[in-house]
């Protein structure tokens, strides 16, 4: 049976942990609304960018004659997987779901005989993936200490990816991140960035009769690199909102679990103390009767 001192110390420790988890829950809740608004505001812009690219792609007809970011290298042997996770933990299974999605894709590519390279964005993804694919990680981009995600960070990642593509280091690039649905649900998502997968709709085909100035290929050459930065920016914002939602949920659950543990430990403490008092009383009474 544990001593009263050990039980008292454990109760104090759990109460301290409960204060931390409650504080993290409140902080995550206060930051979630702003992060959610930013993620939702970025979606129409990214979708509108895709519509413009779809219209232009419908105008040029044959994608193979377009810019290299649209037509690709003509091969798919070397695959770059960009894995976007958070910089911090204490968010339940948020990062685990993204890493699982990345591992499934990596394994599928390797089974198909492809060469895989990994670009990690965020320390948690790097820490998890290097246990299995340390030799495949080409670089890690981290924004530790950054108070707010901005387009400059997305542009930094896009420049790194575009630099690798221009150097011929890969043929296909896929972005893996977590799309924010609500506080309780985040969806791991894989998006092919290079070559751009653009669905040319019937509406886009009907716009092909318009004449563009400058030419469609020139506009696409300017918009496609911008689109990569926009898609990465959207992924960063979606991830940020998902992180705070997952952290709020995880810390709320941890706070409740700590409260239940405190109740159980307090009950054990009271029972142990009562047992010790009863034992002492029995010893006193037995001693008095012996006299």
Residue 204 is predicted with a pLDDT of 47
Q: What is the mean pLDDT of residues 179-183?
A: 84
Three-class secondary structure assignment of 139-173: EEECCCCCCCCCHHHHHHHHHHHHHHHHCCCCCEE
Q: Is residue 32 part of a domain?
A: no
> Token digits for 218?
């020139």
Q: Report which of residues 259 and 213 the model is more confident about.
A: 259
Residue 182 is predicted with a pLDDT of 83
Q: Is residue 218 part of a domain?
A: yes
Q: Is 120 a catalytic residue?
A: no
Residue 291 is predicted with a pLDDT of 65
**How many distinct structural domains can be found in the chain?**
1
Q: Is residue 209 part of a domain?
A: yes
Q: Is residue 268 part of a domain?
A: no
Which of these ranges, 88-92, 115-119, 255-259, has the smallest mean pLDDT? 88-92
**β-bridge mates for residue 179, sequence order:** 187
Q: Is residue 2 part of a domain?
A: no
Residue 201 is predicted with a pLDDT of 54
Provide the pLDDT confidence category of residue 208 given band limits of 50, 70 and 90.
very low
CATH number of the domain encompassing residue 102:
3.40.1380.10
Q: Is residue 262 part of a domain?
A: no
Host domain of residue 185: 44-249
Q: Is residue 9 part of a domain?
A: no
Provide the pLDDT confidence category of residue 58 given band limits of 50, 70 and 90.
low
Choice among 28, 39, 83, 91 that is catalytic: 91
Whether the per-residue pLDDT at 102 is higher than 70: the answer is yes
CA atoms of 157 and 145, how far apart (whole Å): 17
For 16-53, the pLDDT digits (tens) are 999 999 999 999 998 888 888 888 888 888 888 777 77
Which of these ranges, 11-25, 76-90, 168-182, 202-216, has the smallest mean pLDDT? 202-216
Q: Is residue 232 part of a domain?
A: yes
Residue 272 is predicted with a pLDDT of 86
């Amino acid at each position: 049976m544990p001593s009263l001192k050990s039980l008292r110390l454990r109760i104090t420790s759990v109460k301290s942990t409960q204060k931390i988890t409650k504080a993290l829950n409140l902080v995550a809740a206060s930051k979630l609304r702003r992060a959610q608004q930013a993620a939702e505001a970025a979606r129409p812009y990214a979708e509108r960018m895709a519509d413009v690219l779809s219209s232009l792609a419908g105008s040029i007809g044959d994608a193979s004659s377009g810019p290299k970011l649209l037509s690709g290298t003509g091969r798919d042997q070397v695959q770059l997987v960009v894995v976007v996770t958070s910089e911090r933990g204490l968010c339940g299974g948020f990062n685990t779901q993204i890493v699982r999605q990345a591992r499934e894709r990596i394994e599928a590519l390797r089974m198909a005989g492809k060469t895989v390279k990994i670009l990690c964005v965020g320390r948690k993804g790097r820490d998890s993936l290097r246990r299995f694919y340390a030799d495949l990680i080409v670089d890690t981009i981290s924004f530790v200490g950054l108070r707010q995600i901005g387009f400059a960070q997305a542009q930094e990642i896009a420049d790194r990816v575009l630099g690798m593509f221009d150097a011929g280091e890969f043929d296909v690039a896929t972005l893996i991140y977590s799309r924010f649905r609500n506080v309780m649900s985040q969806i791991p998502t894989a998006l092919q960035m290079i070559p751009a997968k653009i669905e040319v709709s019937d509406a886009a085909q009907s716009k092909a009769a318009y004449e563009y100035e400058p030419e469609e290929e020139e506009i696409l050459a300017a918009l496609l690199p911008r689109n990569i930065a926009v898609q990465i920016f959207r992924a960063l914002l979606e991830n940020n909102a998902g992180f705070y939602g997952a952290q709020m949920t995880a810390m709320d659950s941890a706070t409740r679990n700590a409260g239940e543990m405190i109740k159980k430990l307090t009950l054990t403490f009271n029972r142990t103390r009562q047992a010790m008092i009863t034992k002492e009383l029995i010893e006193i009474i037995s001693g008095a009767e012996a006299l």
